[in-house]
Amino acid sequence: MLRNAPKFFEVAKRIIEITADTIVVAHNASFDYRILQMEFDRLGYAFERKTLCTVELSKKLIPDQESYSLGKLSRSLGIAVSDRHRASGDAQATVKLFKILLAKDKTKSIISAAVRLTPRHQMEPKLMELLSSLPSETGVYYIHNSDGDIIYIGKSRNIKKRVNQHFIGNEIKSKKIQLQVAAVTYEPTGSELIALLKESDEIKANKPILNRALRRSIFTHGLFKFIDDSDYLNLQINSLKNNKGAIATFGNIIQARKYLMEMTEKHQLCQKLTGLYPTKSNCFNHTIKACKGACVGKEKPEEYNQRVKSLVSKIALDNKNMLIIDAGRDIEERSVIWVENGHFRGMGYFDLNFQINNSEVLKSIITPMASNRDATRIIHSFIRRKKFLKLIDLNE
């Protein structure tokens, strides 16, 4: 590689150009930076750049690793590496490692520090200049003030389009963003499900001033179950406001009723016992022989309840162990969401050429996230609507 390589003085000008106004990211950055400074000193030039070290970040964000060498970290995190110990191979592996570290940095300390380190003239461009650097991809975006602090977090299937709406909007929140914005950073997720979960988790972790502390839930109604006086298992749509233990959650009552009507038909349930046909006698479906007569006691509770339990088991997360596989950030990658014993454990990404069946590897690539009511409802919604690529049942 070195035999036909150019001399340092031949590439020095290009190195200055491509690193201008950037932060140099490297594995053991102090070593690489020291070598660069030494070579530039020989040419009589004072080379100064801000740096980020993926070794230091890894020790902070991925503790208790056996080794923090690039090779061993790559193996434990499922990073596919080609041309090991060659410039391009190590650089690509460092990029992939840095992406994982950014995903694991829930408090966004890395990007906030990067905004503070960025030269001032880059922090005060016009809104159109800020917008021009944003992608039309699915992901989470972070709006910073001039101190680097995150003042707003959002998600979108088209980051550029959504941020543009903030920049041209007339509502109070948009006006505040337009006045305070100094930089916009983003994290592509590939998956809308990952974006929703990250947005919810990171708003709670960072508490941005322009995200309302108690955001209105995107879910208003839920599906609940109860046993009536005749021992039949009933399903009922109710507001989530003062009710707990929903089997599934919905954005509004219309979505809830539509779903329950579809499930009532699919599982031959009784319209009266699902609350869709209030009556003191038989439901309409029994009249047209689409209901087996639970509404008038013709079908035994045990038989009817079995079909209801079958439906509930398919949509409830209770005690389930599974992986939800969805789109990744590029064509060679997939995202994974881990649910253990009915609780959301976290999310991560893996290379298509890498197997995630090994539990230790799975745990290393997963970014732990809080299992709370909002996360559970988001996952419920996507499972119900089958808005993902694949579901792996770990109990099978």
Strand order in the sheet with 343-351: 367-368, 343-351, 333-340, 322-327, 390-393
Q: CA 322 to CA 362: how far, in whole Å?
A: 12
pLDDT for residue 213: 47
109-206 is classed in which CATH architecture?
3-Layer(aba) Sandwich (3.40)
Instruction: State the average pLDDT over residues 351-357.
Output: 73
CA 310 to chain centre: 30
The mean pLDDT of the chain is 87
**Residue pair 152/169 in contact by the 8 Å Cβ criterion:** no
pLDDT band at 125 (very low <50, low <70, confident <90, very high): low
Structure confidence at residue 117 (pLDDT): 61
Over its C-alpha atoms, the chain yields an Rg (Å, rounded) of 27
Please check the confidence at residue 66 and state whether its pLDDT lies above 50: yes
Q: Which of 1-5, 23-27, 58-62 has the lowest mean pLDDT?
A: 1-5
Per residue in 244-294, pLDDT (tens digit) is: 788 888 888 998 999 999 999 999 999 999 999 999 899 999 999 889 999
Distance CA 77, CA 332 (A): 16
What tokens does 187 get? Answer: 């994290």
Per cent of the chain over pLDDT 90 is 45
The more confident residue out of 164 and 122 is 164
pLDDT score at 16: 94
pTM above 0.95, yes or no: no
Question: Rounded mean pLDDT of 48-67?
Answer: 89
The architecture CATH gives domain 8-104: 2-Layer Sandwich (3.30)
Residue 146 has pLDDT above 60, yes or no: yes
Least Cα distance to 379 among 371, 220, 124 occurs for: 371
